[in-house]
Amino acid sequence: MTDLVLYEVHGPVAWLQLNRPEFANAQNVALLSALDAAFLRAMADDAVAVVVLSGAGKHFTAGHDIGTPGRDIDKPFDRLATPWYPHADKPGAEAAFVREADAYLGLCRRWRALPKPTIAMVHGACVAGGLMLAWVCDLIVASDDAFFADPVVKMGIPGVEYFAHPFVLGPRKAKEFLYLGGRMKADEALATGMINRVVPRESLRDEVAAMAARIATMPRFGLALTKMAINQAEDRMGLRDAVDATYGLHHLAHAHNTLASDNYIGGQDVQSMKKQIED
């Protein structure tokens, strides 16, 4: 079995790479679990000062796995980030609520709180669940071919589980992004303040490496405290409460879909979601 997340350390930088390129790095729980292990490995290594997250192949990540042969949505898994009880055998809305509270929301919050600086290095697609991975990193550097989209309103759902949209885009752009469900190109994402830099595809890695090397010269504890200071400020501006409130609406939508059509993502699939961001 190939590694779902590649892990390399060069100097003070750990390079993590999502590694399901044949499926645009679609995130199943196996991949998220491997990513969590990689992040924790980087935290435990005193030689690592900065972590970079990227995707192998043509895309950063196309989001949660809604249709590959490795989709593991109905499988039980050991808790990853929270003390929630086992979910897979639970009835009604309970299974999805508990599963996503741990594997999606719980992991995102854990990664956002990692005590070392993290950089998302984004190329190609960064869609839906992909946004969550990029947003919980401290910095986002994108290549000029990168694009961002959250088409899940098509599923009748108000955005992905980690609902940071109004904070990273501003309320007005967040509505446009979600209502239209189309692509936001890297330049536009930069103009909204959602990402830090846009660089040519061929210099993406060098640019990120230079940034990471410079950050790595700062004192470790100073960086950890700076990160905490800004994350705490963001939470006091309402991020944490907004994400909690929307998580309930998100699961009302999953439950509604299941009641109305017996399909918790509203009968959508990879093709229909792809079409939404291509039109």
Least distance from Zn ion to the Cβ atom of residue 99, Å:
9
In the complex, least distance from residue 96 CB atom to Zn ion, rounded to whole angstroms: 7
Query: Which residues, 98 to 127, sit near Zn ion by CB under 5 A?
Result: 100
Q: SS3 string of the chain?
A: CCCCEEEEEECCEEEEEECCHHHCCCECHHHHHHHHHHHHHHHHCCCCCEEEEEECCCCCECCECCCCCCCCCCCCCCCCCCCCCCCCCCCCCHHHHHHHHHHHHHHHHHHHCCCCCEEEEECCEEECHHHHHHHCCCEEEEECCCEEECHHHHHCCCCCCCCCHHHHHCHHHHHHHHHHCCCEEHHHHHHHCCCCEEECHHHHHHHHHHHHHHHCCCCHHHHHHHHHHHHHHHHHCCHHHHHHHHHHHHHHHHHHHHHHHCCCCCCCCHHHHHHHHHC
Least distance between Zn ion and beta carbon 272 (Å): 16
| Closest to Zn ion by CB, 100 or 138 | 100
Binding mask 54-93 for Zn ion (x = CB under 5 A): ----------------------------------------
Nearer to Zn ion among residue 132 and residue 195 (C-beta) = 132
Q: How far is the CB of 93 from Zn ion (least distance, A)?
A: 11
| Nearest to Zn ion of 65, 100 (CB atom) | 100
Closest-approach residue to Zn ion (CB) = 100
Site size toward Zn ion, by CB under 5 A: 1
Q: Contact residues for Zn ion (CB under 5 A)?
A: 100
